Chain A
Amino acid sequence: MDMTDRTWRRIGLAALLALACLLPFLVSSYRTFQLTSALSYAIALLGLNILTGYNGQISLGHGAFYAIGAYVAAILMDRFGVPYWATLPAAGAVCLVIGFLFGLPALRLEGLYLALATFALALATPQILKYKLLEDWTGGVQGIVILKPDPPFGLPLDQDQWLYFFTLVVAIVMFWLGRNLLAGRIGRALVAIRDHPIAAETMGVDTAFYKATTFGVSALYTGVAGALGAIVIQFVAPDSFTLFLSITLLVGIVVGGLASISGALWGALFIQFVPNVADHISKAAPWAIYGLFLIAFMYLMPTGIAGFLRTLAARLTRRPSRR
């Protein structure tokens, strides 16, 4: 049973990968751009899910780390001429440090209070980015425009397709790392801290270290995603990183599935494509839908799309004879 489960999963993953590689040749370059953007969201959602879903630390301010990643990439490319691919490790490193430092005081804040502090962070982010002493770096309200990279080695791809494959590779690496992190001892420690911090401590889990580091790692993921997002959109400006970006990320993990790796992917597709559709109704409609989905998922499907699919698959495989 375990064997077949595993093989099935491998087949599924291979099919998904093949589809992911084919997609940019089948759809328009605008759709390719959207898919790239969805992939970068997926990385951010995985980061937020590591923190909120697995470790139980509520962050309503992950848009701030997304913003930092985006700005690190844009500043490095625009002011220092660093190639785009080299900005990702830098963005990740900066966010790791800042996330860790923010996580230190956050250790003393439980549940609700952490939500409050990060909520404040999300609201303050655009203001800090606009601040005039930072203007030489951030470009103030105007933001920074960056150039779209060309495919290297004379590959027969256009810019959008190349960026898609670049993001796909980064996403695969990040997901693979994340899965290994969560599947082992560290992942179990994170879940233990979420479900029963005192018991976890008694079992010898260094709660303080784990929580602060998780905050850092989560920020790293989100920062890399932010850098990718900036490169894809070719533009950063303070007003793209409001509270509503943080809420979008929250919607992504709730809809995709809390504490689920594949949930990050479903959530990313949701937050990328649903607003596009809803936008035709009214400017306010995407947000009304987000709000409804947040509440409805909490009532009806707290494990999100990923959890729903898991239950569905379990039900289908458990009773094959009765069908």
Chain B
Amino acid sequence: MEAFLHQVLSGLATGGIYAIVALALVMIYQATHLVNFAQGEMAMFSTYLAWTMIDAGVPYWPAFAATVALSFVLGIAIERIVIRPVEKAPVLAVVIVFIGLLVILNSVAGWIYTYTIKSFPSPFPTHRILGGYVSAHELGVMAVTMGVLVLLFVFFRFTPLGLAMRAAAQNPVSSRLVGIRVGWMLALGWGLAAAVGAVAGMMVAPIVFLDPNMMAGILLYGFAAALLGGIDNPAGAVFGGFVVGVLENLAGAYLVGTELKLTVALVLIVGVLVMRPSGLFGRVLVTRV
């Protein structure tokens, strides 16, 4: 029983990271109805930026803040330069551009920082707390997830800019008519997603270590989380993240072992897509022909 509880708690901690990634995916999906395959590599690249600063002697939290800000700017730049030209293109073209972006970010990171694994510091103490069930880092990750969630909720619910972004995503034509610059709202959405992704990257790097391919599995679980919760529902995606994190840990401990973690994600993704494509809390899409 104790081992079970431990598995659930540490699943919740990794689930927090999946939830953040899922949130970033949902943010871009809501604005553009696209799934960003490069989200993981964007987060990985941001984490390398943070590593560079910390390595140069910047204390953790200033480096954290600077990385989030820098990622925000980079996210906007990517939307403006790379994504905007294919805004109206067919899905295939957009997916190919996303994959191109993934490959470029991955190889540039490998080029600059090499493919050797680096350790990444955690801002939280390493010892275990709460009777040994969770490590302080795991608890810290959960707290950061909650913080990000609350911030985003407040931003989208109570600020004029958040309202404008939601309007631009839901009804671009009317939004343009009332004077919202829809194109820039999309870019802001990309910036926010990149910033949120950067947080996920910095939270997960102490666990999985830093290398250019570190986000592949995490992105996959982020996909699974977003799909499970409903890809157009931010709260659902967060819930999905925690569920998927716990499921992953339990399946790893009792069912298939840790070597098949990605396969569990594959089964989850295909299962959700086939049985309930709109996820647990997503809207059912009805297409008019």
Contacts and interface: CB of A to CB of B under 8 A. Distances in A.
Interface of A: 52, 56, 58, 60, 105, 108-109, 111-113, 115-117, 119-121, 123-124, 127-128, 130-132, 198, 243, 247, 250, 254, 258, 282-288, 290-295, 298-299, 302
Nearest to B104: A291
B277 interface: yes
B198 interface: no
B261 interface: yes
B99 A294 contact: yes
Given A112-B34, A124-B266, A288 B92 contact: no
A283 to B, nearest CB: 7
B129 interface: no
A298 to B, nearest CB: 5
B106 A112 contact: no
Q: Which 10 A-B pairs have the closest CB atoms?
A: A294-B100, A291-B104, A287-B107, A291-B103, A284-B111, A111-B91, A295-B100, A284-B110, A284-B107, A288-B107
Contacts of A121: 266
Interface in B246-280: 257, 259-263, 265-266, 269-270, 273-274, 277
Contacts of B110: 283-284, 287
B97 A112 contact: no
Contacts of B262: 120, 123-124, 127
Interface stretch (B150-158, B171-179, B216-224): B216-224
A58 B274 contact: no
A105 B271 CA distance: 9
A284 B108 contact: yes
Nearest to A126: B262
A127 B261 CA distance: 8
B95 A115 contact: yes
Nearest to A108: B274
A123 B274 CA distance: 19
Interface of B: 34-35, 37, 82, 85-86, 89, 91-93, 95-97, 99-108, 110-111, 115, 216-217, 220, 223-224, 227, 257, 259-263, 265-266, 269-270, 273-274, 277, 289
Nearest to A199: B289
Given A123-B217, A291-B107, 9 more contacts: A58-B95, A112-B35, A116-B35, A116-B227, A123-B220, A124-B262, A127-B263, A131-B263, A285-B111
Nearest to B106: A287
A298 B93 contact: yes
B86 A298 contact: yes
Contacts of A198: 289
A113 B261 contact: no
A58 B34 CA distance: 14
Interface of B is mostly: helix
Interface of A is mostly: helix
Contacts of A284: 107-108, 110-111
Contacts of B266: 117, 120-121, 123-124
A182 B89 CA distance: 25
A112 B91 contact: yes
Given A113-B273, A287-B106, A291-B104, A250 B223 contact: no
A295 B102 CA distance: 11
Given A111-B91, A127-B259, A247-B103, A299 B223 contact: no
A130 B106 CA distance: 24
Contacts of A130: 259
Nearest to A294: B100
Given A56-B92, A283-B115, A123 B103 contact: no
B97 A294 contact: yes
A243 B216 contact: yes
Contacts of B96: 250, 254, 294-295, 298
B265 A290 contact: no
A50 to B, nearest CB: 14
Given A127-B260, A287-B107, A291-B100, A58 B89 contact: no
Contacts of A299: 85-86
A298 B257 CA distance: 41
A131 to B, nearest CB: 6
Nearest to B105: A291
7 contacts: A52-B92, A58-B95, A113-B273, A120-B262, A250-B96, A288-B103, A291-B100
Contacts of B105: 291
A127 B257 CA distance: 12
Contacts of A258: 92
B267 to A, nearest CB: 9
A132 B259 CA distance: 9
Given A127-B261, A292-B100, A298-B96, A120 B289 contact: no
Given A123-B262, A124-B263, A105 B216 contact: no
A111 B94 CA distance: 11
A287 to B, nearest CB: 4
B193 to A, nearest CB: 16
A117 B270 contact: yes
A171 B183 CA distance: 47
Contacts of B106: 287, 291
A3 B50 CA distance: 65
Contacts of B99: 60, 247, 250, 294
B223 A298 contact: no
A105 B104 contact: no
A5 B159 CA distance: 64
Contacts of B273: 105, 108-109, 113, 116-117
